[in-house]
Amino acid sequence: MADTSILAGSKFEYSVDDGTTYVELYGITEWPEFKNETEDEEVTEVRHETRQYAPGLDSPTELALTANYYKNNADQLAFRTLARNNGSCKVKMTYKDGDTAEAEVDLRNYGIAGGGAAERKKWMCTLRRTTDIDFTESAS
């Protein structure tokens, strides 16, 4: 889970048309740290005097997304419905400084995370990354 003070001013968007159009998802309270994770693969040969390693396959972890429940927000309802149906989409995180991270994800494990009355409920789902992350640093 990323520190919310660092994320202040950032936005989370999703696309169901392969990134042609993005829709901002309101209510996000926590989004995961997006990073490529590779396991090291040992490639030591008998001629080496120390162990040698090379990057292995990317091992995407399941990432939790948590948001305030906005019952009457059509864009959030569309995303929640996609998550309930174990759908897929492209996500884009734009940080306050303009840097972005984009990846395709499968949505899983939708549920209500807490609260009681509609105005206090939170929902969550799991994002399972299915592509590498495309990191773009802003010019400024």
Q: How confident is the model at residue 9 (pLDDT cuts 50, 70, 90)?
A: confident
Query: pLDDT digit string (tens) for 85-122?
Result: 999 999 999 999 999 999 999 999 999 876 666 567 89
Q: Write out the CATH class of domain 4-31+62-136.
A: mainly beta
Query: pLDDT digit string (tens) for 34-63?
Result: 777 778 888 899 999 999 888 877 667 788
Residues in the chain: 140
* Domain edges within the chain: 4-31+62-136
| pLDDT computed for residue 1 by the predictor | 45
| pLDDT computed for residue 94 by the predictor | 93
